[in-house]
Amino acid sequence: MRQAFASVRMKLDPLVCACRMARQTAHLMVGLQDYDAYAAHVRTTHPDIEPMDRATFYRQATDRRYGGGPGSAFRCC
């Protein structure tokens, strides 16, 4: 049973992967990074620091994108 399950998941994997990538692309188009990737990154590289929560992360990302600092949105013509 478990094996059948695993094989179904294997088949679905590319689909799940494509969906995740589409979602990530859409987010990055408006300048938002992936929160889960960020949290995972902080946990592995800085185990002593607690990552920001989701709301703070998106708030900061929005402010940074239009705030004129590094990485601010420079809309094109």
Partner 1 sequence: MTAARSHLPWIALGLIGAFALATVALHRGESIGALWIVVAAVCTYLVAYRYYSLFIAEKVLRLDPSYATPAVRLNDGLDYVPTNKNVLFGHHFAAIAGAGPLVGPVLAAQMGYLPGTLWILVGVVVAGAVQDFIILFLSTRRDGRSLGDIIRQEMGATAGLIAQIGILLIMIILLAVLALVVVKALVGSPWGMFTVAATIPIALFMGLYSRYLRPGRVGEISVIGVVLLMASIVYGQHVAESPTLAPLFTLKGETIALLIIGYGFVASVIPVWLLLAPRDYLSTFLKIGAVVGLAVGILVVMPEVRMPAVTKFIDGTGPVFAGSLFPFLFITIACGAVSGFHSLIASGTTPKLIENETQARFIGYGAMLTESFVAIMALIAASVLDPGIYFAMNSPAALIGTTPESAAAAVSSWGFLITPQDLTLLASQVGENTILSRAGGAPTLAVGMSHILSQLIGGEALMAFWYHFAILFEALFILTTVDAGTRVCRFMIQDLIGNAVPSFRDTKSWTANVIATAIAVTAWGYFLYQGVVDPLGGINTLWPLFGISNQMLAAIALMLCTVVLFKLKRERYAWVTIVPTVWLLICTLTAGWQKLFHPSPSIGFLSHARKFSDAAARGEVLAPAKSVEQMGRIVLNDYVNAGLTIAFMAVVLAMVFFGIKWIFAALKADGVTANDAHVQPAE
Site string for partner 1, 23-52 (x = CB under 8 A): xxxxxxxxxxx-x-xxx-xx--x-----x-
Give the nearest distance from C-beta 5 to partner 1 in angstroms.
28
CA 61/CA 7 separation, integer angstroms? 38
Q: Please tell me whether residue 54 binds partner 1 under the rule CB under 8 A.
A: yes
Contact (CB, 8 A) for 35 and 60: no
Residues that bind partner 1 (CB under 8 A): 21, 23-33, 35, 37-39, 41-42, 45, 51, 54-55, 57-77
